[in-house]
Amino acid sequence: MATVLAARGLTRDFRGFRAVDGVDLDVAEGAVHALVGPNGAGKTTLFHMLTGFVRPTAGRVEVAGRDITGLPPERVAQLGVARSFQITSLFPGLTAIEHVELALQRDDGWRFWRSDKLLRRHAERARELLDLVGLADQAGTTAGSLAYGRKRALELALALALQPSILLLDEPTAGMGVEDVDRTVDLIGRLRQGRTVLLVEHNMSVVGALADRVTVLQAGRVLVEGSYDEVRADERVITAYLGSADVAH
């Protein structure tokens, strides 16, 4: 399969500390690619560079063969790359549907005056996206009243409002209970249809259920890459990340 998102020698220094060190990464079109590793391995910094939130010290980022290194996040998003974050950043007083409608307004340039037809189209699309992420019955609920797992689902709807072909998910199941984790795994499985997904994830059961390919980072470098079964069985991964054979299995 063709590579749609790539890192080439990607490096980032912070005041003498090298958070990411010469990472090469190829994410295949239509795949779910997981990025795993211990805390401090450089996963989120790599995500930031791939999406324009942090400029690399060295190396480059490519989308469908196009060098996008240094482009701001809004330009990266316009190229079909959207992401979620580890920490939710919603407006507590706005309803779920109001959040999505606001996200959809980017297409009409945030014009003050909008036709009734355009507003209806946004409302219809917002409801479609909420239904996709399992929030149709909570469209009128304020974000501050949503359970944590449902807030993460709303953030996925906001990312999908950008109509991405590449979706980057940073710890999508962090802090969730078992029921929400299962729901999120099912949701990501459905979202991958027609999209490429790159996710950072600590829950190896989630990785095993979703990932076609797994890249393990350690100290800012690629330690191992392969299928889930290959990575799980690798002694370097067990030592550096999983910690023990019991966790690995």
Alpha-carbon distance of 36 to 42, in angstroms, equals 10
Task: Please report the pLDDT score of residue 114 as a whole number.
Answer: 54
First and final C-alpha spacing in the chain: 29
Task: Please report the pLDDT score of residue 154 as a whole number.
Answer: 92
Q: Where in the chain is the domain with CATH 3.40.50.300?
A: 1-80+166-186+195-249
CATH of the domain spanning 1-80+166-186+195-249:
3.40.50.300
Q: What is the mean pLDDT of each run of 10 residues along the chain (249 residues)?
A: 95 95 97 93 95 96 96 93 80 94 71 61 91 92 92 90 92 86 89 90 93 95 95 86 47
Task: Please report the pLDDT score of residue 75 as a whole number.
Answer: 94
Beta bridge partners of 58: 11
| Phi/psi-derived region of residue 36, left when phi > 0, alpha when psi is between -120 and 50, beta in every other case | beta
Amino acid at 156: L
Task: Please report the pLDDT score of residue 243 as a whole number.
Answer: 55
| Cα of 46 vs its chain's centroid, Å | 12
Task: Please report the pLDDT score of residue 248 as a whole number.
Answer: 41
Alpha-carbon distance of 39 to 45, in angstroms, equals 12
Task: Please report the pLDDT score of residue 108 as a whole number.
Answer: 53
DSSP-derived letter for residue 142 is: B
pTM of the predicted model as reported, rounded to 2 decimal places:
0.85
- Using DSSP, state whether 184 is helix, strand or coil: helix
